[in-house]
């Protein structure tokens, strides 16, 4: 197994275990099973070199963390843990490493060093930005009252931001020729799939 794939699986194991350790009872068993399925699916996608499967483990890990957050919320523990931005950054790194490892195993040619360096720096910058943005959102959520008109406008702003994010991702995907190309890498640079 290549280093990227091994690190992706290791990160996925840590991410799968994190929500399991924060809950009890039946939910713990359910989340553990969901985490195991995510890890097995990740390993299968990496072994087969199937890039199309590499996103599903990330979706399962997100669902696992979301279920733990909802359980904490129902128990009166507040909206979210301060560790959620770190979890999101770890998920981003694991998904990117898994995607690239599956892409390489699927028959991609050698990657020029400058493309590899750009991929690493871009992914690192995105992970740091996700921690900063997530931390800022948590601070804002703690500072702004959620009741009354302020709470309503905050929820409206959150929905608009979520829709705008999806629109940007779709636009970038379409601009890059669909899911068959890597963002920011020209064909011939080792970036096409």
Q: Which residue has the higher pLDDT, 77 or 88?
A: 88
Phi, psi of 192 (to 5 degrees): -75, 150
Region of residue 58 (phi > 0: left; psi between -120 and 50: alpha; otherwise: beta):
alpha
The overall average pLDDT reported for the chain is 78
Q: Domain limits at 175? A: 146-193
Residues 104 and 164 in one domain: no
pTM tops 0.95: no
Residues 116 and 155 in one domain: no
Structure tokens at 149: 């008109």
Nearest to 9, CA basis, from 49, 48, 50, 44: 44
Residues 159 and 185 in one domain: yes
Q: 113, 128, 143: which is the final residue of a domain? A: 143
Residues 88 and 53 in one domain: yes
Share of the chain above pLDDT 90, in %: 16
- Is residue 54 within 8 Å of 95, Cβ to Cβ? yes
Q: How many Å apart are CA 162 and CA 140, to the nearest integer?
A: 16
Residues 109 and 152 in one domain: no
- From residue 94, alpha-carbon distances to 15, 38, 66, 74, 164 in Å are 9, 12, 17, 29, 24
Residue 192's DSSP bridge partners are: 181
Residues 95 and 190 in one domain: no
pLDDT in tens, 145-187: 667 777 777 777 777 777 777 677 666 666 665 444 444 444 4
Query: How many structural domains does the chain have?
Result: 2
Phi, psi of 18 (to 5 degrees): -55, -55
Nearest to 138, CA basis, from 182, 185, 81: 81
Residues 49 and 95 in one domain: yes
């Amino acid at each position: 197994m290549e280093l990227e794939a091994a690190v992706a699986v290791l990160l996925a194991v840590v991410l799968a275990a994190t929500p399991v350790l924060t809950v009890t009872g039946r939910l713990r068993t359910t989340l553990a099973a969901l985490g195991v399925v995510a890890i097995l699916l990740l390993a299968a996608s990496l072994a087969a070199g199937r890039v199309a499967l590499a996103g599903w483990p990330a979706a399962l890990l997100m669902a696992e963390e979301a279920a733990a957050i909802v359980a904490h919320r129902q128990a009166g523990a507040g909206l979210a843990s301060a560790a959620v931005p770190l979890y999101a950054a770890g998920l981003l790194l694991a998904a990117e490493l898994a995607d690239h490892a599956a892409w390489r195993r699927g028959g991609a040619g050698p990657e020029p060093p400058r493309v590899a360096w750009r991929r690493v720096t871009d992914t690192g910058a995105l992970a740091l930005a996700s921690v900063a943005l997530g931390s800022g959102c948590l601070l804002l959520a703690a500072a702004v009252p959620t009741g009354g008109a302020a709470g309503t406008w905050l929820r409206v702003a959150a929905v608009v931001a979520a829709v705008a994010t999806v629109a940007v991702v779709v636009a970038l995907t379409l601009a890059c020729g669909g899911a068959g190309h890597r963002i920011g890498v020209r064909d011939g640079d080792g970036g096409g799939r």
